[in-house]
Amino acid sequence: MAINLNTPRDSFSSRLGVIAAAAGSAIGLGNIWRFPYVAGENGGGAFLLIYIGFIVLIGVPVMLSEFVIGRNTQRNAVGAFRKLAPKSLWPLTGFLGISAAFFILAFYTTVSGWTLEYLYLAISDGFKAQSAESLTQNFELFRTSGLRPLMWQNIFMFLTAFIVYKGIKNGIEKYTKILMPLLLVIIIILGIRSVTLPGAAEGLTFLFKPDFTKITGKVILEALGQSFFSLSIGMGTLITYGSYIGKGENLGKTALSVSAADTLIAILAGVAIFPAVFAFGIAPEAGAGLVFITLPMIFDQMAGGYFFALIFFLLLSIAALTSTISVLEVVTAYLSEELNLGRKKATVIAASSIAVLGVACTMSQGPWAILSVGGYNLFDLLEMVSANIMLPLGGLLIVLFVGWYLTKDAVFAEISNQGKFKAGFKFAYLFIIRFLAPIAIAFVFLNGLGFFSIFGSGN
């Protein structure tokens, strides 16, 4: 047995701690950096509508399924499958998650590094009176410059490892509880400033008015990938966090609150960004630089902009940090429990090996442009493959496992805390994870990859 029986397993200490940590994982660059730019590239309102549909119908049930696996087994993403389905291929789902953690953390720490640079710029008043063109140009120069983004990325990885090293209660839980609510307040203030800019209405129309002609197989797959990415599902992060959740918590309610908070922040980020995009004449499909260009423009236009820029980038960095720790925790928990390494050693090995891929990812933005395939550099590839392929695939396997491999009674017992409350949603949940979610994920997946177009339909 690879489990150390001498020390009790670490866990979250309170209900608020559970929600803050899981919401801390979910809410991050995915909401504020990725959501607006992916929505911008995929048509705005129609994308938002499909995205919300996926969150409700597939995202919440997948999240609950991860919690079920994690809390039931009290194990890491691989160990959990080993315990429930020994001598089967199911643990491979856990390994898929470990690989996804490498991919995600590599590009995610690149962007997290950008947020540190922008925090630094905010402190040194570096956005003052710049045009959209010069902000765009400066972002491009910085992004492709190699050494500087690399430095920030490694600082960020170090911070992530530091918290994970400290464990659950005194690391992850402690930091997330205070910081997430503060982020919400700032985004609301930014949203208000953005919608009161002259010409803001066009941005709100873009975000909220669906144009159904924009929907293609690729748009639908992007919406699915984004919903999984934003909720942190499909790769065992929430199996791992679920394994630290106490037996008295209501898993269904937790999944619902976390998903609601995550969606709210994404929409608010859209409200803060799109009106400004149109007001300042930036293209909504500007790509990965979108927030780093639009938000500084807003700050420059508002009273107290210096102060708001500063706390915004501080909080964005923190939101990113509460997400990166949740990804690193997947690999750390695996190494420490399955290979019996001890948390500290496991953290160091996980962080440093992921950092190697991270360096390649940051360098692929410019200096190592040869690291690209078909017009996509390594960064784009890792982002696309993890969000649009690995997470949906992982999510599919997770719902199939809980829906068909585990017994109905075991699943109902877990979501009702052994029958302590009714869990009236349980039949709907079972129907979704057995039929609706697997069929929908498989269809969207194949359609988005252009599979059905060989039959003459599809995109």
Query: Which residue in 17, 24, 30, 40 binds ligand TRP (CB under 6 A)?
Result: 30
**Minimal distance, residue 306 CB to ligand TRP, in Å:** 26
Using rule CB under 6 A, residue 28 touches ligand TRP: yes
Give DSSP secondary structure letters for 179-201.
HHHHHHHHHHHHHHHHHTSTTTH
Residue nearer to ligand TRP on the CB measure, 104 or 361: 104
Give DSSP secondary structure letters for 9-75.
PP---SHHHHHHHHHHHHSSHIIIIIHHHHHHHTTTHHHHHHHHHHIIIIIHHHHHHHHHHHHHHTS
Residue nearer to ligand TRP on the CB measure, 93 or 326: 326
* Both structure tokens of 26: 């979910």
Report H helices in 124-167. 132-143, 147-166
**Minimal distance, residue 222 CB to ligand TRP, in Å:** 15
**Minimal distance, residue 31 CB to ligand TRP, in Å:** 5
Number of residues that bind ligand TRP (CB under 6 A): 16
Give the integer Cα–Cα distance in Å for 193 and 200: 10
Cβ atoms < 10 Å from Cβ of 170 = 12
Query: Which residue in 26, 78, 187, 393 binds ligand TRP (CB under 6 A)?
Result: 26
Segment interacting with ligand TRP (CB under 6 A) among 24-32, 252-260, 302-310, 338-346: 24-32
Helices 174-195 and 305-338: angle between axes, nearest 10 degrees = 140
Query: 168-197: which residues touch ligand TRP (CB under 6 A)?
Result: none
Residue nearer to ligand TRP on the CB measure, 94 or 305: 94
Contact characters 96-125, ligand TRP, x per CB under 6 A: --------x---------------------
* Both structure tokens of 156: 């960020």
The H or E element containing residue 373 is strand 372-373
DSSP 8-state secondary structure symbol assigned to residue 372: E
**Minimal distance, residue 180 CB to ligand TRP, in Å:** 12
Residues whose CB falls within 8 Å of the CB of residue 409, separated by 6 or more in sequence, listed in order: none
* Both structure tokens of 410: 């075991």
Segment interacting with ligand TRP (CB under 6 A) among 23-31, 67-75, 147-155, 186-194: 23-31
Residue nearer to ligand TRP on the CB measure, 74 or 323: 323
Query: Which residue in 229, 308, 313, 379 binds ligand TRP (CB under 6 A)?
Result: 229
Query: Which residue in 232, 243, 254, 365 binds ligand TRP (CB under 6 A)?
Result: 232
Q: Which of 331, 384, 50 is nearest to 164 (CA)?
A: 331
Using rule CB under 6 A, residue 29 touches ligand TRP: yes
The H or E element containing residue 334 is helix 305-338
Residue nearer to ligand TRP on the CB measure, 55 or 391: 391
Using rule CB under 6 A, residue 326 touches ligand TRP: yes
Using rule CB under 6 A, residue 377 touches ligand TRP: no
User: Which sign, positive or negative, has the C-alpha torsion 206, 212, 217, 223?
Assistant: positive
Using rule CB under 6 A, residue 317 touches ligand TRP: no
Segment interacting with ligand TRP (CB under 6 A) among 188-196, 289-297, 323-331, 435-443: 323-331
Contact yes or no for 27/259 (Cβ under 8 A):
no
Using rule CB under 6 A, residue 138 touches ligand TRP: no
Using rule CB under 6 A, residue 42 touches ligand TRP: no
Give me the residue label for tokens 């009702």: 416
**Minimal distance, residue 417 CB to ligand TRP, in Å:** 26
Contact yes or no for 62/52 (Cβ under 8 A):
no
β-partners of residue 372 are 377
Contact characters 383-412, ligand TRP, x per CB under 6 A: --------x---------------------
CB hemisphere CA count around 51 (13 angstroms): 36
Segment interacting with ligand TRP (CB under 6 A) among 4-12, 45-53, 125-133, 224-232: 224-232
Q: Which of 450, 448, 429 is nearest to 59 (CA)?
A: 429
DSSP 8-state secondary structure symbol assigned to residue 232: T
Task: Return the beta strands (E) in 299-456 as ranges.
Answer: 372-373, 376-377
Residue nearer to ligand TRP on the CB measure, 305 or 448: 448
Using rule CB under 6 A, residue 237 touches ligand TRP: yes
**Minimal distance, residue 28 CB to ligand TRP, in Å:** 2
Q: Where do contacts with ligand TRP occur on this chain (CB under 6 A)?
A: 25-26, 28-31, 104, 229-230, 232, 235, 237, 323, 326-327, 391
